[in-house]
Amino acid sequence: MKTKKIPQRMCLGCQEVKPKRELIRIVRSPEGEFSVDATGKKPGRGAYICPQMECFAAARKSKGLERSFKSPIDKSVYELLEQQLNELPKAEG
C-alpha cells in the first residue's frame, strides 16, 4: 500500500523544511494586497513561515518575503502582517 505524500514547504525565517500544515501562509493577492492565509486556500502567490514570531522577525530581517514575492514590501505591510499573526490562535503542543 502506498503512503500518502505530505507536501513540504520551507520557512522563510529559519530555513527549515516542514510539513505544509505546520506553517502559516502569507499571500499576495492578484490585486497586490498582503494578508495571512489561515486556510491555505486564498488565491495569489504564497510564502510560508513558522508560527513563531522569531521566524517572522528573521524573514523580515533577511528580506525573505520580498525575495519570495519579487517585490518590495512597505514597513506598514509588515506591521499589518505581524498584527494578523498575533491574532491567530496558538497551536497546542
* β strands within 11-92, DSSP E: 17-19, 24-28, 34-37, 45-49
**Residue 92: predicted pLDDT:** 44
Provide the domain limits for residue 12.
Answer: 8-87
Residue 93 confidence class, pLDDT cut points 50, 70, 90: very low
Total domain count, the chain: 1
CATH number at residue 69: 3.30.1230.10
CB 10 within 8 A of CB 48: yes
pLDDT tens profile 29-66: 999 999 999 888 999 999 999 999 999 999 999 999 99
- In percent, the amount of the chain with pLDDT more than 90 equals 80
93 within some domain = no
25 within some domain = yes
1 within some domain = no
pTM, full prediction: 0.86
Which one-letter amino acid corresponds to residue 7? P
**Residue 90: predicted pLDDT:** 67
